[in-house]
Amino acid sequence: MDTAKASFEEFLKRREEAGQAFITGDPQALGQIVARELPATFFGPGGGFREGAANVWAQYEHDSGMFEPGSESAFQVLQKASSDDIGYWVTFQNATVRMRGKSEPTSMRLRVTEIFRRENGDWKMVHRHADMLAEETRR
């Protein structure tokens, strides 16, 4: 495996770890891998969108506060690829989450597309589009 591909694979491992931390209410690992330079966008599962690196990060910080420790998440990767400075993955994010104010865990299955680029030599997430998976149909 060449160095660029190995770097991207290592980044995706960190991305998965950040996703797990996020749904336990800890946004800090995600904060290490999100874009800090423009442009950045987020199309969240509740609809709407955020644009601009600072706005996107503020939304992630806010959203992590909805979760409590004891949540679990895993990414089921459908496809991924990278070149020297840009990469993406398309996944299902399967999670059982503990939400603030709810006594029982909630199951979530999200369709996720994320785009990554290098900033100052490090991979960063510049776009996330996540929404709830409707009843599964395959063609």
Residue 116 is assigned to a structural domain of this protein: yes
Residue 103 is assigned to a structural domain of this protein: yes
How many CB atoms neighbour CB 38 within 10 A? 12
DSSP string, 14-68: HHHHHHHHHTTT--HHHHTTB--SS--EEE-TTS--EESHHHHHHHHHHHHTTEE
The CATH number covering residue 64 comes to: 3.10.450.50
Range of the domain at 127: 3-131
Residue 105 is assigned to a structural domain of this protein: yes
Cα 48 from Cα 9, distance rounded (Å): 30
Residue 137 is assigned to a structural domain of this protein: no
Residue 27 is assigned to a structural domain of this protein: yes
| pTM of the predicted structure, to 2 decimals | 0.92
Residue 50 is assigned to a structural domain of this protein: yes
Instruction: Render pLDDT for 48-67 as a digit per residue (tens, 0 to 9).
Output: 899 999 999 999 999 999 99
* Number of separate domains in the chain: 1
Residue 81 is assigned to a structural domain of this protein: yes
Collapsing DSSP to helix, strand or coil, 116 comes out as strand
Contact call for residues 28 and 18 (beta carbons, < 8 A): no
Contact call for residues 21 and 13 (beta carbons, < 8 A): no
Instruction: Render pLDDT for 5-58 as a digit per residue (tens, 0 to 9).
Output: 789 999 999 999 999 999 999 999 999 999 988 899 999 998 889 999 999 999
Residue 9 is assigned to a structural domain of this protein: yes
